[in-house]
Amino acid sequence: MKRFRKFTQKRQLYPVHSSSVQGTVGIAALFLLWIAAPLKAGEMPPEVRSILDNHCIACHGPEKQKSKIRFDTLSTDLIQDRAAGETWHDALDVIHLGEMPPEDEPPLSSEDRAVLTGWIQKNIDTAVAAMKSTGGRVVVRRLNRAEYQNTMVDLLGVDLNYSSNLPPDSVSEEGFKNNGSSLTMSPLQLEYYLSHCLPNF
């Protein structure tokens, strides 16, 4: 707590426009985006779901699980669930090879095949890109200064400079200021936010 007090004293040298409303909303906004930030990987669109229902679920669903695979409960979050990612990848392969659905079953129309493989491929590509950019870790990111500023203006509807007292954002290797892996929350950063948003903290 000592360090917070130090910050509060220091802040008096640089007076800022802070009210308790701004403080509360600011902290709420910060944590809201903090929690919402992790990449929400490819949810399944209804048209993909219905193709699976019509062509795959009879053998890979609640009743039968051929090859121990069921697609109705298989995770679509390939970043969190790598085993699911492998299974989707197998599915992509067997569809491309024309092995599934099996030959005595009605085949996929070329349109359905394109929709299904397109969605699986996109989901895999997204997961691979995300893993590359963060070394496989899911990054919990904070708002950068510009995002914080815009969020506060949107939330409060009052166009003030809310981010002037925040520390500068570091730039990622690729030169971006909104790369999740460089927007981590250090203890010092948190102190800045707390002292900025909650002046009497």
Q: Which residues bind ligand HEC (CB under 6 A)?
A: 55-56, 58-60, 66-67, 69, 90-91, 94-95, 100-102, 105
* Spatial distance between the Cα atoms of 169 and 148, rounded to a whole number of angstroms: 11
To ligand HEC, the closest distance from the beta carbon of 120 in angstroms equals 9
**Which residue lies nearer to ligand HEC by CB, 59 or 197?**
59
Residues in contact with 42: Cβ distance below 8 Å, sequence separation at least 6, in sequence order: 76, 77, 78, 119, 122, 123, 126, 127
Nearer to ligand HEC, 50 or 67 (CB): 67
| Cα-Cα-Cα-Cα dihedral sign, residues 172, 174, 177, 183 | negative
Nearer to ligand HEC by C-beta: 117 or 165? 117
**In the bound complex, what is the minimum distance in angstroms from residue 81's beta carbon to ligand HEC?**
16
> Cβ of residue 58: shortest distance to ligand HEC, in angstroms?
5
* Distance from the first to the final alpha carbon of the chain: 9
CB 149 within 8 A of CB 139: no
Question: Would you say 17 or 89 has its CB closer to ligand HEC?
Answer: 89
Residue 51: CA atoms inside 13 Å, Cβ hemisphere, count? Answer: 21
Distances (CA, A) of 161 to 35, 118, 151, 154, 158: 24, 44, 11, 12, 9
CB of 148 to ligand HEC, least distance (A): 44
Q: Cβ closer to ligand HEC: 24 or 109? A: 109
**Least distance (Å) from ligand HEC to the CB of residue 78?**
15
